[in-house]
Amino acid sequence: MTGNNNSSLPIGVFDSGVGGLTVLKAIRETLPHENLVYLGDTARLPYGTKSPESIARYATQATAKLLLHDIKMLVIACNTASAVALDVLKKQMAPIPVLGVVEPGARAAVAARPGGSHLVLATEATVRLGAYRRAISALDPKARIKEQPCELLVSLAEEGWTEGDIADSIVRRYLHEAQKDGFEADSIILGCTHFPLLRNAISAAVADTVAVVDSANTTAAVVQQTLRSTGSLATGRDPGTLTLLATDGIARFARVGGQFLGTALTADDVHLVDL
């Protein structure tokens, strides 16, 4: 793979909202010297209920905005946009490498429970496109797979209501829906980057033996491998810079986003952009 060899250029990361910050956090932990630009398309969230045509258009526009920052790699930190637009964006962006989160998420689940039964919690669009079913089956033909749309979990995460009675009862309701035909999962895949924020509520609702997996760490590992293979890893010793962009509600983005980045943010830390 040929990349952009300027190692000090930033990695671009985007999602429909704050969810992709779960992936950004893992990338920062794995690659602390990388400069990062994150775009949350909060004006048009949720992506998960939109048509593939709209999602592809949004993803292309978000990518164009990140290209203005001269990015050396693009991470689509949104399962929905990955499911719809990964192939198109790879073609449009070549030779800049583009990585989605579905394949790394599927890989993490198969590694956790080889030959297992996987329950995928995702958005309506990701489920409709069967993105995880295909990715898991390609890695492990013996796997059993069930996909459950859980759109309300996106709203809970964006609201910051990730613990407590409301989160618990909505999570339990979706798990009940998914398992009422007797499907017994031994892995639960958080197939939307917003859902790791609800990991505690989800883990509390299932047996301890069930693996709850997401794509953040496996995605960060693939980012590292990709940059290494293209000779584009940051060479500086200083902590990388972080630029945060959002298309609406920067105060809310800062409040909720700060919670999962583990850094207090104010609206001044987030730039309002139009796409």
Q: Is there a contact between 83 and 126 (Cβ–Cβ < 8 Å)?
A: yes
Residue 78 annotated as catalytic: yes
Using the rule CB under 6 A, is 148 a contact of ligand DGL? no
Contact yes or no for 217/108 (Cβ under 8 A): yes
Q: How far is the CB of 153 from ligand DGL (least distance, A)?
A: 9
Nearest partner of 145 among 126, 173, 165, 118, judged by Cα: 118
* CA atoms of 99 and 21, how far apart (whole Å): 15
User: Applying CB under 6 A, which of residues 3, 10, 40, 48 lies at the interface with ligand DGL?
Assistant: 48
Stretch that binds ligand DGL, among 67-75, 163-171, 187-195, 198-206 (CB under 6 A): 187-195
Tell me if 140 contacts ligand DGL by CB under 6 A: no
- Single residue of 27, 37, 154, 234 touching ligand DGL by CB under 6 A: 154
Indicate whether 79 belongs to the interface with ligand DGL (CB under 6 A).
Answer: yes
Residue where the block lists tokens 């898991």 = 136
State in angstroms the smallest separation of the CB of 151 from ligand DGL. 7
**Residue 218 contacts ligand DGL per CB under 6 A:** no
Q: How would DSSP label each residue in 185-236?
A: -SEEEE-STTGGGGHHHHHHTS-TTSEEE-SHHHHHHHHHHHHHHTT-S---
CB of 85 to ligand DGL, least distance (A): 12
Closest CA to 197 of 1, 73, 15: 15
Catalytic entry in 171, 190, 192, 213: 192
Q: Is the Cβ of residue 156 or residue 234 nearer to ligand DGL in the bound state?
A: 156
Nearer to ligand DGL, 126 or 232 (CB): 126
Q: Which parts of 2-21 interact with ligand DGL (CB under 6 A)?
A: 15-16, 19
150 an active-site residue? no
Catalytic residue among 13, 78, 135, 265: 78
Of 30-38, 76-84, 130-138, 258-266, which segment contacts ligand DGL by CB under 6 A?
76-84
The answer to whether 240 touches 28, Cβ cutoff 8 Å, is yes
Q: Smallest distance from the beta carbon of 177 to ligand DGL, in angstroms? A: 18
Give the interface size with ligand DGL as a residue count (CB under 6 A). 16
d(CA 105, CA 108): 5
In single-letter form, the type of residue at position 114 comes to P
- CA-to-CA distance for 230 and 96, rounded, in angstroms? 10
117 phi, psi to nearest 5 deg: -105, 120
CA-to-CA distance for 142 and 261, rounded, in angstroms?
37
Q: Taking CB under 6 A as the rule, does residue 40 contact ligand DGL?
A: no
Q: Which sign, positive or negative, has the C-alpha torsion 249, 251, 252, 256?
A: positive
Q: Is 192 in the site for ligand DGL (CB under 6 A)?
A: yes
Binding site for ligand DGL (CB under 6 A): 15-16, 19, 45-48, 78-80, 123, 126, 154, 192-194
Supply the residues annotated as catalytic.
78, 192
